[in-house]
Every structure is written in structure tokens, then in C-alpha cells.
């Protein structure tokens, strides 16, 4: 019996452009190099982990009855503190 394994290239994830400070980009480049990753991979992993953590915190605060935080900026705009 002949068995054929077809290899398909995995679909590339969707991407978008964002503005970051040069300080953050330079630090991320160094960290990515230490981890053996591309800047794209490293920044995506770090941002996703931080966003998921903050989302979970937001849900916990809502369930505890804490008042919602006021919005800062417009759609998609992130304020630095």
C-alpha cells in the first residue's frame, strides 16, 4: 500500500501596521535576537500575552462590580502612561 503525505504551506497570519516608539522597537529587536525570533514573532507574542492578561483583569474587575475605566483616546488609539 502506498501512503502519500501532502504537505501544505501553513497560511500566513493576517497582519497590520502599528506605530511604536523607536525605544520600544529597539528593545524588542534586542530581546527577539536573544530569543532567536524575528521582531514580528517576538512583538506579536508579547503584545498578545499582555492584551490577554489585561482582558482577563478587565473581566475580573467587571464581575467584582468595579466601575469601568473611562476610555482614553479614539478607536484603536493607545495612550502611554
State the cell numbers at 76: 484603536
Q: Look at residue 12 and tell me if it is in a domain.
A: no
Q: Look at residue 42 and tell me if it is in a domain.
A: yes
Predicted confidence (pLDDT) per residue in 46-71, tens digit: 999 999 999 999 999 999 986 666 66
Domain span at residue 54? 37-67
CB of 32 within 8 A of CB of 38?
yes
User: Among 78, 72, 15, 75, which Cα is nearest to 43's?
Assistant: 15
Q: Look at residue 72 and tell me if it is in a domain.
A: no
Q: Look at residue 63 and tell me if it is in a domain.
A: yes
Instruction: Give the model's pLDDT for residue 71.
Output: 64
Q: How far apart, in whole angstroms, are the C-alpha atoms of residue 12 and residue 16?
A: 12
State the cell numbers at 71: 476610555
Q: Residue 2: helix, strand or coil by DSSP?
A: coil
CA atoms within 13 A on the CB side of 13: 6
Percent of the chain with pLDDT over 70: 68
Q: How many domains is the chain built from?
A: 1
Amino acid at each position: 500500500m502506498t501512503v502519500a503525505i501532502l504537505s501544505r504551506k501553513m497560511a500566513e497570519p493576517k497582519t497590520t501596521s502599528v506605530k511604536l516608539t523607536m525605544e520600544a522597537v529597539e528593545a524588542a529587536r534586542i530581546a527577539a535576537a536573544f530569543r532567536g525570533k524575528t521582531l514580528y514573532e517576538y512583538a506579536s507574542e508579547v503584545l498578545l500575552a499582555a492584551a490577554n492578561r489585561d482582558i482577563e483583569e478587565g473581566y475580573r474587575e467587571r464581575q467584582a462590580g468595579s466601575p469601568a475605566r473611562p476610555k482614553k483616546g479614539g478607536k484603536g488609539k493607545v495612550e502611554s502612561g
